């Protein structure tokens, strides 16, 4: 047990060091393997920490004043060090790993004062019988509370991690809500602001984002698939869902500024105080595969416009089981993500010649691919901002529960 506890102490400090390198490498687009290496070390630290906790029930010599503070730190890590990120101007993750390193070294120093010999645990700290019935009983009673909380935190951490990796960090789950991250990339006096968006959120989230956009020498590459030939037979809107959840729909908010056409993008910029310029940077529905159009029509018909969201979901799910194949899914993602990403990326070189700031406020699922293209153009991450789009504390749970009960 002493060797396992020492391994935990070493992994705790080592994962802090790897975390610091990971954040810095991520910030400057270097050494992509550092992410995987850090995840392996951190996972090993979590597993060894759990085994050490179990060891408390069978080995009374494990020094609690040394190990329990580190285990509590692991608990905090499972909620992504919330709310540190929200108050640290985008450097919360780095601050957390630096603090973890300092904290780990301090705990090791405390241990050296206890044994007067080593930073790690020594055999003298484990002399005498290790098992005690009284210790096991106390551990079992405490675990009735600790283990369910731990399981809940682990599930939360897994969901948060999946969401973070699938969106490139542009959507982040926290105990108090869902946050959207904006990343600002910089090169030679030019900024590209990648603002991950969400279709449903609190109105203050959209208002804050809109207010943050500078007015001069700024271009907003707007998202929104056009439908010049009327291929959509159904009204595609998230307003119904937003109303049922007590939220606002993204379509209710519009960026202030002057809309321009593609032809104006090639002309020299003229100083005029008319706010940022807005260019529709998306594609038309005609460029979609007919199967994708049919899926979108079905989604709007059965779910988005349904009086009952639950019944609408069930109806769309039944339709999807009969009509959506693996190949349809592939085509749909190519139309919804890849084609549209390429359209906005193709506009970037021309936009950057004319403007100092280019804002791309697109859905969060687009951001990961667009970010790859921005990094490939040698832009480096300059700043990040977190904005809470949905507060779990402000949702009308009574209304939501009543709505679903009435449709069971």
Enter the DSSP assignment of 197.
Answer: B
Cα–Cα distance, 390 to 200 (Å, whole number)? 8
The answer, yes or no, to whether residue 408 has pLDDT greater than 60, is no
Q: Which residue has the higher pLDDT, 101 or 127?
A: 101
Output the pLDDT for position 67. Answer: 95
The answer, yes or no, to whether residue 115 has pLDDT greater than 80, is yes
Query: What percent of the chain lies above the pLDDT cut of 90?
Result: 67
pTM score of the predicted model = 0.84
Cα–Cα distance, 213 to 220 (Å, whole number)? 9
The dihedral formed by the CA atoms of 85, 86, 88 and 93, expressed in degrees to the nearest 10: 10
Pairing of strands 380-391, 177-187: antiparallel
Cα angle 162-164-168, degrees, rounded to a multiple of 5: 120
Cα–Cα distance, 336 to 292 (Å, whole number)? 8
Report domain extents, the chain: 2-166, 171-405
The answer, yes or no, to whether residue 55 has pLDDT greater than 90, is yes
Q: Which helix (H) or strand (E) holds 13?
A: helix 2-28
Q: Which residue has the higher pLDDT, 294 or 240?
A: 294
Output the pLDDT for position 407. Answer: 58
Answer yes or no: are the C-beta atoms of 216 and 271 closer than 8 Å. yes
The SS3 call for residue 391 is strand
Q: pLDDT (tens digit, 9 = 90+) per residue, 155-191?
A: 999 999 899 888 988 999 999 999 999 999 999 999 9
CA distances from 164 to 18, 60, 407 (A): 19, 39, 33
For residue 386, name the pLDDT band (cuts at 50, 70, 90).
confident
The answer, yes or no, to whether residue 403 has pLDDT greater than 90, is no
Query: In the Cβ-directed half-sphere of 369, how many Cα atoms lie within 13 Å?
Result: 17
Cα–Cα distance, 398 to 401 (Å, whole number)? 5
Output the pLDDT for position 146. Answer: 94
Cα–Cα distance, 244 to 399 (Å, whole number)? 8
Give the lowest-confidence range in 89-93, 118-122, 315-319, 397-401.
89-93
Rg, the chain, Cα only: 26
Q: Which helix (H) or strand (E) holds 95?
A: helix 92-115
For residue 275, name the pLDDT band (cuts at 50, 70, 90).
confident
List the structure tokens of 220. 């907003």
The answer, yes or no, to whether residue 45 has pLDDT greater than 80, is yes
CA distances from 91 to 87, 149, 263, 368 (A): 9, 28, 40, 20
Answer yes or no: are the C-beta atoms of 93 and 85 closer than 8 Å. yes
Q: What is the mean pLDDT of the chain?
A: 90
Q: pLDDT (tens digit, 9 = 90+) per residue, 284-329?
A: 999 999 999 999 999 999 999 888 888 889 999 999 999 999 999 9
Q: pLDDT (tens digit, 9 = 90+) per residue, 338-369?
A: 999 999 999 999 999 999 999 999 999 999 99
Answer yes or no: are the C-beta atoms of 298 and 319 closer than 8 Å. yes
Q: Concatenated DSSP letters for 249-301? A: EGGG----SEEE-HHHHTSPP----S--EEEE---BGGGS-HHHHHHHHHHII
Given the structure tokens 């109806």, which residue do they identify? 315
Output the pLDDT for position 370. Answer: 96
């Amino acid at each position: 047990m002493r060797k396992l506890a020492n391994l935990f102490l070493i992994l705790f400090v080592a994962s802090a060091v790897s975390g610091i390198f990971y954040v810095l490498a991520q910030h400057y687009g270097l050494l992509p393997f550092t992410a995987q290496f850090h995840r392996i070390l951190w996972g090993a630290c979590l597993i060894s920490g759990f085994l050490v906790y179990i060891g408390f029930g069978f080995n009374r010599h494990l020094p609690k004043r040394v190990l329990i503070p580190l285990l509590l730190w692991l608990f905090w890590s499972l909620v992504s060090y919330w709310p540190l990120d929200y108050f640290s101007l985008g450097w919360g993750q780095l601050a957390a790993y630096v603090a973890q390193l300092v904290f780990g070294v301090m705990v090791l120093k405390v241990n050296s004062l206890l044994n007067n010999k080593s930073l790690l645990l020594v055999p003298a700290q484990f002399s005498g019988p290790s098992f005690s019935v009284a210790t096991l009983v106390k551990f079992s009673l405490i675990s009735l509370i600790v283990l369910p909380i731990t399981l809940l935190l682990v599930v939360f951490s897994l969901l948060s991690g999946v969401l973070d990796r699938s969106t490139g960090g542009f959507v982040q789950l926290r105990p108090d809500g869902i946050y959207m991250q904006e990343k600002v990339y910089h090169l030679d006096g030019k900024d590209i602001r990648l603002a991950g968006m969400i279709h449903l959120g609190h109105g203050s989230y959209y208002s804050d984002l809109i207010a943050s956009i500078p007015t001069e020498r700024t271009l907003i590459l707007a998202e929104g698939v056009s439908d010049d030939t009327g291929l959509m037979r159904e009204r595609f809107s998230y307003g119904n869902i937003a109303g049922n959840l007590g939220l606002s729909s993204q379509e209710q908010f519009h960026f202030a500024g002057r809309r321009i056409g593609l032809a104006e993008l090639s002309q020299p910029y003229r100083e005029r105080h008319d706010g940022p310029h807005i260019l529709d940077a998306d594609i038309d529905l005609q460029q979609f595969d007919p199967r994708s159009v049919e899926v979108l029509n079905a989604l709007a018909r059965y779910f988005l416009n349904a009086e009952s969201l639950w019944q609408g979901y069930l109806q769309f799910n039944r339709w999807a089981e009969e009509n959506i194949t693996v190949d349809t899914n592939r085509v749909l993602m190519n139309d919804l993500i890849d084609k549209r990403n390429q359209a906005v990326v193709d506009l970037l070189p021309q936009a950057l010649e004319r403007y100092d700031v280019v804002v791309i406020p697109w859905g969060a699922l687009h951001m990961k691919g667009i970010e790859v293209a921005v990094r490939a153009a040698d832009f480096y991450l300059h700043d990040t901002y977190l904005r809470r789009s949905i507060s779990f504390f402000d949702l009308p749970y009574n209304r939501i529960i009543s709505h679903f009960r009435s449709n069971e």
